Structure 1
Amino acid sequence: MAGLTVLRVAGPAEAFPGKRGDDEVIPWLDRPPANPVPNVIVRQLDWEQVDSWLTPPDQFFVINHYGQPNLDAEAWRLGVAGLVSRPQSLTLADLKSRARREVEFTMECSGNTGLPFFIGGVGNARWA
């Protein structure tokens, strides 16, 4: 619960050990105000729905500051340059052909809790 305190979250902690089936979930006493910019802050984590360590993809926060670019997967390239011994340009197919590695990691928006209505810009995922 200390982690939730740091995030200034006052919701239940369904995903944390020690909860029994007969425990009562205490509702928010100080609900955050409604999101006034749903076209920018498209989706936030709903803390009252947290029931697992990993955030389901359809509950992960979505922020659109500048819209979404239209990318052509065939033309897209990742440039690796700078202080590297071998600069290169990798295609999406190059990246997909490499050995898959997964890691569980938490991502938090740098603006999370910067506004009274924005406390759900955080999520845990298994990234590949």
Structure 2
Amino acid sequence: MSTQEPVSGPLRRLGASLLTLGRIRLELLAIEAQEEKERIAQLLLWAVLAALLAGFAVLMALVLAIVALWDSHPLLALGGACVVLVVAAALALRQLKSLVAQPSTLFQASIAELRDDADALHRQP
């Protein structure tokens, strides 16, 4: 029995260390997920607000141009307004596709820490 006690002590400590390490990594993942959720919510809020305000500004500018040109060139004013809106929509769509194509950075810190842990375990004899 005395030969098992020295072995069981280090195994218990190793198990406890692994559990603690796993818990810490899971807490880091949870924190990162919460931060990313808050960042996305803020981005969405400000993007929607900016888009609404910019849309209203463009519409008002187009209405002003249409009213100013209505007596002399009504079709040109309406056509120009349509072209402006189509070009703006195309630019927004291109930007959206660019953002969707970018890789996510979610959990990058946790992945780096797990790689560091694995490297440290492989270096030890």
TM range (shorter): under 0.3
Q: TM-score, normalised by structure 2?
A: 0.22
| Larger RCO (alpha carbons 8 Å, 6+ apart) | 2
Larger relative strand fraction: 1
Q: TM-score, normalised by structure 1?
A: 0.22
Larger radius of gyration: 2
